[in-house]
Amino acid sequence: MSKRDYYEVLGVSKSSTEKEIKKAYKRLAMKYHPDKNQGDAQAADKFKEIKEAYEVLTDPDKRGQYDDFGHAAFQNGGNGGFGGGFGGGQSQGFGGFEDIFGSAFGGRSRGGFGSGGFEDMFSQHRQPRAQKGQDRQFNLTVDFADAIKGCEQIIELPVNGVNKKINVKVPAGIEDGEKIRFAGKGESGINGGPAGDLLIQINTRPHATLKRDGNDLICPVTTDFVTAALGGEVEIQTLESRFKLKVPAGTQNGRKFRMKEKGVKSRKGVTGDLLVEITVATPTNLTEEQKTLLMKFKEIA
């Protein structure tokens, strides 16, 4: 099979400068390099043809012989000195190749591909950058008391396509919406990258009476207006204890009593306060006697 014209192979004209030839070669070499076209025999032949044309046209002596005699200049031990062509032995004229890419890649290429800068140039294409897998998130709802005191729950979740049981240790003091991270339990990594993480978001069920504000516990308590006016005691029920709180005379509706460090102990070891909020109940369905007494109180107040 006859060889194609070297100028045609590189897509340049006979009047092209060496710089233009190198530019054309670089573009075609990147396109047909075997590392980018693994298993493609046609691309490999194309690359070999491009390389052969480049080595002749960037050597002034060989280019001159080629312009005068064409491919015959290098056949049958001709003056080109290729020793049987480009198919055997170590290719000469490789310095031009290094001239193009050597400065960018440390000038390490010498005597063939796969050992120097040109391979480095293509490494980004044939070895895509490793990426961490995506994180996965699931919700776990726990009781109000379990979020404050801590608990353990075994849940079954799909991990990398397989259902697995995971023991979730809910730390004491965790807040509603906080997440627990399981490293490497998410989606598989890409191109050899590490797996993503599994995130368990903790949601807290509301308590019948207690509320949480940061590390403080808010405990609403209702008392009658007589106790609020004259003073007395109200019973307080928290998560772990029951006790009585003294209510001074003249306590107004909405007043809060703060009990230091009786609240929630956070994950960082900080303990909040217990806030007892008094609600004064207004009596309904009064008897006539009660109404009379209240009217007398109003008159003398």
Instruction: Tell me if domain 136-204 and domain 211-300 are identical in fold.
Output: yes
> What pLDDT is stored for residue 197 in this prediction?
93
Domain boundaries, the chain: 6-126, 136-204, 211-300
- Kind plus residue range of the DSSP H or E element containing 235: strand 232-237
pLDDT exceeds cutoff 90 at 216: yes
CATH 3.30.565.10 applies to domain 211-300: no
Lowest mean pLDDT among 71-85, 92-106, 151-165: 92-106
Tell me how far apart the alpha carbons of residues 112 and 116 are, in angstroms, rounded to a whole number.
8
Q: What is the pTM of this model?
A: 0.54
pLDDT mean across residues, the chain:
84
Position 126 scores a pLDDT of 59
pLDDT tens digits, 244-280: 999 999 999 999 999 999 999 998 899 999 999 999 9
Residues of the chain above pLDDT 70, percent: 82
Between 90 and 59, name the one with better pLDDT.
59
Mean pLDDT of 183-197: 89
DSSP one-letter code for 241:
-
What pLDDT digit, counting tens, does each position of 94-141 carry? 444 444 444 444 444 444 444 444 555 544 455 688 999 999 999 999
Return the higher-pLDDT residue of 287 and 128: 287
Sorting pLDDT into bands at 50, 70 and 90, what band is 68? confident
Percent of the chain with pLDDT over 90: 58
Distance set, CA 100 to CA 7, 24, 60, 147, 225 (Å): 19, 11, 16, 65, 94
Domain at 6-126, CATH homologous superfamily: DnaJ domain (1.10.287.110)
Residues 6+ apart with CB under 8 A from 113: 34, 35, 119
The pLDDT of residue 89 is above 60: no
How big is the CA angle at 243 (ends 240 and 249), to the nearest 5 degrees? 145
Residue 76: what pLDDT?
A: 60
CATH number corresponding to 136-204:
2.60.260.20
pLDDT surpassing 90 at residue 90 = no
